[in-house]
Amino acid sequence: MHKLPMIAALIGSMYLTQSHAQENQHFTGTILDEQNNPLVGATITVLKTKNHTATDTHGHFVFSSLPDGTYDIQIKAIGFKTIKQKIHVDAAHPPLLIHMPSVAESLQTVEIYGRKEKSYRNTQSFIGSKTETKLRDLPQSVSYATKELISDQGVMRVGEIVKNFSGVNQFTFYDDITIRGFRINGGSNTQLVNGLRTTTGFWKQPLANYLERVEVLKGPSSALFGNASPGGVVNRVTKKPLEEARKSLQFSVGSFNNLRALADFTGPMTSDKTLLYRLNIGYENAQNFRDLQFDKNLVLAPSFSFIPSDKTRINFDMVYNDSRSRLDRGQSIFANGDLYSTPISQSMSTANDFLNEQTYMVTASLNHRFNEHLSFNASYMKTGYAEDLSEHRSANAYAVDGKGNNIENMVARQVFIRNRKRFVDNITAFFNYHVHTGRIVHKLVAGYDYAQEVLPVGGSQLTASGYRNKDNTGTIARFDPKKINDYLLDKNGNPIPNVSSFDLSNPLKSQQLQDGSKYFYASTLVAPTYYHLNALYLQDQVTLGPLQLLLGLRYENYKDIANYKTDQAENVHQDVLLPRFGAVFTVNPQINVYGTYVQGYNPQTASALANPNAGGPFDPLENDMTEFGLKTAWLDGKLQASAAVYHINQKNTLYPAPTDDNAELMEQIGKERSKGIEFDLQGQILPHWSVIASYAYNDAKITEGGNNEELNRQKPNAPQNTANIWTRYTLPGGKAKGLGIGVGANYVDKRNLSINQNQTIPSYSLLNAALYYTIGKVQLQANLNNITNKTHWVGGYDYIRLFPGAPRNFLFTLGYTF
């Protein structure tokens, strides 16, 4: 019997040992790069378990309940070697500290990795070199806004986002901006999505809920992407799938009956994380401070990543946008030129006008790394756009009396009814080769691009305009008082227009439902067009100690089929060789200085202009830029600042030159020049204090050609001075923990409008603010914009087509993450 106590003691000992071995521990660690900077968003996975997490903004991570024992963990971060390491977990184990070595990742034009940082700062991009390059190592200026900034400011349009960028501002309400004094818009097929050429509708700016960030590469970028604006190129980077599960919902209500609902879901679809997904959904139903204007938008943006091995990644992305709205052609004022003679709310639309647009962008991309030196990348994007438009708009002139004089309060109107479609295809494929030759490091890119755009058969337009003939059986395009007997006249002896004029003194009658069956229409063809381009390019990023050189050369062959789909069809060829040179010198770990020279071009054929009535033929745009600057990083890389000085030359620019016979005629100006200086600041001053700020001085003038009034005048909608600041601070502790405040200001200098009219719009300063409160997984946000209710104009063509900015407005947002 004396053996029973011994057996009991042995069993108890085994039980205690097992209990101790199964005790859960709080295991923590920090992940740093080789310069001791924290790595944000690095993923740590405990292999053969379901435990995984990611580092925060300080590089810290924590597993709250790991049983005692020995485990294999895997640490991954974009741009760094994957680390696998054994760890021993027990109560006495100190926090883990890992330094991750950088590696030349497989680099791609299309960004297929999700960004895991959660701040106003972005440290790297693909836009400037077609390789994953730190922004401070790029010999060219880049401005950007991350999704965190976009969310904090409560904005949803690129035109609103660009107010944060130096040297960038709106031209109109549309998807239409200027960069360093040069215009770029969504209908020009020179904007980028994930580094691939695409097109959107010109009239409406799409929602930005599916974007990771918006970035602008300043200066000509033709050596990288083909024909583009000399001011810069806008790249919209879409959100990509992440390995960690994240889900969020947002609901917003605000001024002008604004209602918005957003959803963002991402994470693994399989336990081994070889299949990832992301789904962004956006819905908007909003009125406007402008009469009769509204926007109803539905955005669906699914994205999938298939990762069969650590050397191969395949992505599929789609963005679909269904937009229902009216086209706002701007505010008209009295013919006396008084900007305040009509309210900024007054639009020329009628109650039965509409604009329906559908856009889709589908992208498939492959990234394969053969070894640590060689990788291959290929991407294909298909864009489709459809427009269904019916509108009453100004005829870009005031109504006239029987003597041909302007009637001060009456704006001549016309009607457009139009259907058209556009399709763009984009293919890019290239190799990256990373090699050392002695002390010199080379990052070589060699590739091929193909792009085409088609406006298919079927596009057409009905136009009602002009004045009624004396028999009221048709119209005459222009009124000639010398031939007054040819026109139908009213009781006062004034010509009767085909479409009634808009009465600025009594707008309600002009804005009501109009009977379009009473108009005389002329049917015109939206001419089908087709062009394609083939390009070869070679680039080398050379590193020798503190010196980095970027040497690039692109050959592009552009082919347009003039009079496409007709018996007079003929091929129009243009060839161009585009060099690019840049150098970056690292003065110390905080400061890089750089210089660059680039050339650009842009065809101005019928396909490129998408305007058969523009005239021509026209010579292509030709431009070049010289830029010098410095880029700095402070506070352990958390705060970035840059400065740039630039000089851009361009010749053969087209500007409107309407005549009595052709209101869409263009003229080609000899030369123009833009020069200036820019400053940008982004990042964190403290862990809970973020800031973005910029200032730009831009001197943009026509220097040769045109008439004497046009020479040496500041170009249209190109303010000489712009500045902005936005900062957010969140209380890190105490009873008010989770409470934050954001404050911002924007300044835009006065601007000229049309080059051939002495019309200007005044400068303005706006003050905006926001309050935030986060409790657990819930965030409350209130944005108040234009606090002082400043009357201002964001752009315009002339005094008949002015684009006023919104008056004081608010937006309340409720967010939930889970």
- Give the pLDDT band (50/70/90) at residue 333: very high
Average pLDDT over residues 208-215: 91
Distance, CA of 749 to CA of 699 (rounded, Å): 12
The helix/strand/coil state of 477 is coil
Amino acid 8: pLDDT: 46
- Give the pLDDT band (50/70/90) at residue 609: low
The helix/strand/coil state of 120 is coil
Region of poorest pLDDT, from 184-193, 519-528, 577-586, 746-755? 184-193
Contact 125, 135 (CB under 8 A): yes
One-letter amino acid for residue 587 of the chain: V
Distance, CA of 357 to CA of 350 (rounded, Å): 19
Amino acid 547: pLDDT: 95
- CATH superfamily placement of domain 124-233: TonB-dependent receptor, plug domain (2.170.130.10)
Distance, CA of 521 to CA of 464 (rounded, Å): 5
Is 725's pLDDT higher than 90? Answer: yes
Contact 223, 536 (CB under 8 A): no
More confident residue, 384 or 83: 384
- Give the pLDDT band (50/70/90) at residue 87: confident
The model carries a pTM of 0.83
Distance, CA of 786 to CA of 811 (rounded, Å): 12
Amino acid 610: pLDDT: 56
- Give the pLDDT band (50/70/90) at residue 18: very low
Contact 597, 611 (CB under 8 A): no
With DSSP H G I counted as helix, E B as strand and the rest as coil, what are the percentages for the chain, rounded to 5?
A: 5, 55, 35
- Start-to-end CA distance of the chain, whole Å, equals 60
**pLDDT tens-place string over residues 630-683:** 999 988 888 999 999 999 999 888 777 777 666 677 778 788 999 999 999 999
Distance, CA of 176 to CA of 227 (rounded, Å): 17
Distance, CA of 494 to CA of 492 (rounded, Å): 6
Residue linked to tokens 């006249």: 489
What percentage of the chain has pLDDT greater than the value 90?
61
Region of poorest pLDDT, from 190-204, 232-246, 556-570, 682-696? 190-204
Residue linked to tokens 């009607």: 415
Q: Give the residue among 791, 707, 704, 797 at the shortest CA–CA distance from 752.
A: 797
Distance, CA of 493 to CA of 394 (rounded, Å): 22
Is 109's pLDDT higher than 60? Answer: no
Strands (E), 545-620: 547-562, 570-588, 591-602
Average pLDDT over residues 275-295: 96
Distance, CA of 129 to CA of 581 (rounded, Å): 11
**pLDDT tens-place string over residues 433-457:** 999 888 899 999 999 999 999 999 9
Region of poorest pLDDT, from 191-200, 234-243, 257-266, 337-346? 191-200
Amino acid 541: pLDDT: 92
Is 756's pLDDT higher than 80? Answer: no
Q: Give the residue among 605, 599, 590, 579 at the shortest CA–CA distance from 639.
A: 590
Domain 21-99 top-level CATH class: mainly beta
Contact 234, 175 (CB under 8 A): no
Provide the CA 579 distance to its chain's centre, in angstroms. Answer: 26
Distance, CA of 681 to CA of 166 (rounded, Å): 10
Is 587's pLDDT higher than 50? Answer: yes
Cα 422-427-428 angle, rounded to 5 deg: 145
Residue linked to tokens 């200098």: 749
Distance, CA of 151 to CA of 210 (rounded, Å): 12
Contact 590, 618 (CB under 8 A): no
More confident residue, 309 or 7: 309
Amino acid 23: pLDDT: 63
**pLDDT tens-place string over residues 89-99:** 887 778 888 88
Distance, CA of 806 to CA of 794 (rounded, Å): 9
- Spell out a b/e string for 507-541, using b for 16 or more CB atoms within 10 Å of the CB, else e: beebbeebebeebbbeeeebbbbbbbbbbebebeb
Cα 471-476-481 angle, rounded to 5 deg: 95
Those residues with Cβ within 8 angstroms of residue 651's Cβ, 6 or more apart along the chain or in another chain: 621, 622, 623, 669, 670, 671, 672, 704
236-462+523-817: CATH architecture? Beta Barrel (2.40)
Distance, CA of 563 to CA of 568 (rounded, Å): 6
Those residues with Cβ within 8 angstroms of residue 19's Cβ, 6 or more apart along the chain or in another chain: none
Is 103's pLDDT higher than 70? Answer: no
Contact 147, 212 (CB under 8 A): yes
**pLDDT tens-place string over residues 773-794:** 999 899 999 999 999 999 999 9
